[in-house]
Amino acid sequence: MNKILVTGGIGYIGSHTVVALIEQNSEVVIVDNLSNSHLFILDRIEQISDVRPKYYNMDVCNAAQMDELFATEKDIAGVIHFAAYKAVGESVAEPLKYYHNNIGGLVTLLQAMKKYDIKNFVFSSSCSVYGNATQLPVDENCPLQPAESPYGNTKRICEEILVDTTKTGSANVIALRYFNPIGAHESGLIGELPIGQPSNLIPVITQTAAGLRDKITVFGNDYNTPDGTCIRDYIHVVDLADAHVAAVARLIEEKQLQKYELYNLGTGEGVSVKQAIDTFEAATGVKANHYYGPRRDGDVVQIWADCTKANKELGWKTKISLEDAMISAWKWQEEGVRGKE
């Protein structure tokens, strides 16, 4: 049984990955400082998996805590590093908070791993590094654009740090560039629940449908796209979690072709904001009031992924439809999250 350390394992993508790892018989150790998550998610992980993973309330930026962690938890076979801040707008207002946590956390963690000779590392990157992509679909060779936000910049800098680190031989890395993660576990017990007001499309849709918001503002319908609204690649979080299981297995089984590997994770399908809202309404039978408002600053017009590399090398592909993603997000909103907001 491989022991996997998951930083940010109480968060949205982390919790689904913890469940997927347990399903595949890994022993999971979680580190999370609850800066953007809630401890009840640990109970929910246990409810789904019948296993309560070991949990440390520690900060990945705290070198003494990271040292204590690796001194205590021997034989860690791989680390999956989700812990970071992710609110794009907040990163513009408070860039240093983002540079400190996202870059400082990565460096501190890598230093501790080096000391304890733990090499296998999976990193959460983002399609935000592509900006307004010069080709569609976007593959991993597409040139990167200057980041639109300090948040996006942290992901780009972290990738560069990881490239340099692998060159020294002290780490084997798989960086995963997620497109837009959505949906929730089919049980409805875990899902996306950031602290504060969510600004991502799917939580805005489900909160509106639930009556917690008046309406959805669709940010612009005058773009040069078929229906005038922006296009994204929405990937179900459970499919995303499975890719992490595949990535960490690839590292442990020493199947890497290079010490630093990079994969896009999306569905390969572009979906407009209008299509997303229509799909939600059709799949759930629930109305999501919306109107067309002005464009949002910094929005990419359209982006979707070419995931051929991940399909081939990780032996992974997405399985869950957009309809099922909407149904699961709704179940989470209606059942999982009730009383916890």
Taking the alpha carbons of 200, 206, 211, 215 in that order, is the dihedral positive or negative?
Answer: positive
Q: Is 292 in the site for ligand WQD (CB under 6 A)?
A: no
Q: Is 296 in the site for ligand WQD (CB under 6 A)?
A: yes
Tokens of 230: 């922006």
Q: Is 275 in the site for ligand WQD (CB under 6 A)?
A: no
What residues make contact with ligand NAD under the rule CB under 6 A? 7-8, 10-14, 31-37, 59-61, 82-86, 101, 105, 124, 126, 178, 181, 194
Catalytic residue from among 55, 85, 151, 223: 151
Interface with ligand WQD (CB under 6 A), residue from 118, 209, 273, 327: 273
Annotated catalytic residue 151: yes
Of 145 and 228, which CB lies nearer to ligand NAD in the complex structure? 145
216, interface contact from ligand WQD, ligand NAD, none, CB < 5-8 Å by kind: ligand WQD
Minimum CB separation of residue 126 from ligand NAD in Å reads 4
Tokens of 152: 């996006």
By CB under 6 A, what part of segment 214-233 binds ligand WQD? 216-219, 230, 232
Rounded CA-CA distance 168/138 in Å is 29
Of 11 and 150, which CB lies nearer to ligand NAD in the complex structure? 11
8, interface contact from ligand WQD, ligand NAD, none, CB < 5-8 Å by kind: ligand NAD
Q: Is 308 in the site for ligand WQD (CB under 6 A)?
A: no
Minimum CB separation of residue 27 from ligand WQD in Å reads 28
Helix axes 201-209, 273-284, angle to 10 degrees: 40
Residue 109 CA, distance from chain mean position:
18
3-state secondary structure of 288: coil
Minimum CB separation of residue 303 from ligand NAD in Å reads 12
Rounded CA-CA distance 200/202 in Å is 6
x/- string (CB under 6 A) for ligand WQD, residues 64-93? ----------------------x-x-----
Q: If residue 172 lies in a helix (H) or strand (E), which one and from where to where?
A: strand 172-178
Integer CA distances (angstroms), 225 to 32, 277, 297, in order? 40, 16, 17
Q: What is the dihedral of CA 102, 157, 184, 56, to 10 degrees?
A: -30
Using CB atoms within 10 Å of the CB of residue 195, give its burial: 0 to 12 exposed, 13 to 18 middle, 19+ buried. exposed
10, interface contact from ligand WQD, ligand NAD, none, CB < 5-8 Å by kind: ligand NAD
Q: Is 279 in the site for ligand WQD (CB under 6 A)?
A: no
Rounded CA-CA distance 15/215 in Å is 29
By CB under 6 A, what part of segment 138-177 binds ligand WQD? 152
Of 90 and 186, which CB lies nearer to ligand NAD in the complex structure? 90
Rounded CA-CA distance 243/37 in Å is 22
Interface with ligand WQD (CB under 6 A), residue from 57, 72, 199, 258: 199
Minimum CB separation of residue 222 from ligand NAD in Å reads 25
Integer CA distances (angstroms), 341 to 50, 158, 193, 288, in order? 25, 32, 8, 19
Q: Is 106 in the site for ligand WQD (CB under 6 A)?
A: no
Nearest to 61 by CA among 108, 97, 96, 110: 108
Minimum CB separation of residue 7 from ligand NAD in Å reads 6
Residues in a beta bridge with 147: none
Which residue number is nearest to ligand NAD in terms of Cβ? Answer: 11
Query: Which amino acid is present at 307?
Result: C
Give yes or no for a cis peptide into 194 (omega within 30° of 0). Answer: no
Catalytically annotated residues: 151
Contacting residues toward ligand WQD, per CB under 6 A? 86, 88, 126, 128, 152, 180, 199-201, 204, 216-219, 230, 232, 273, 296, 299
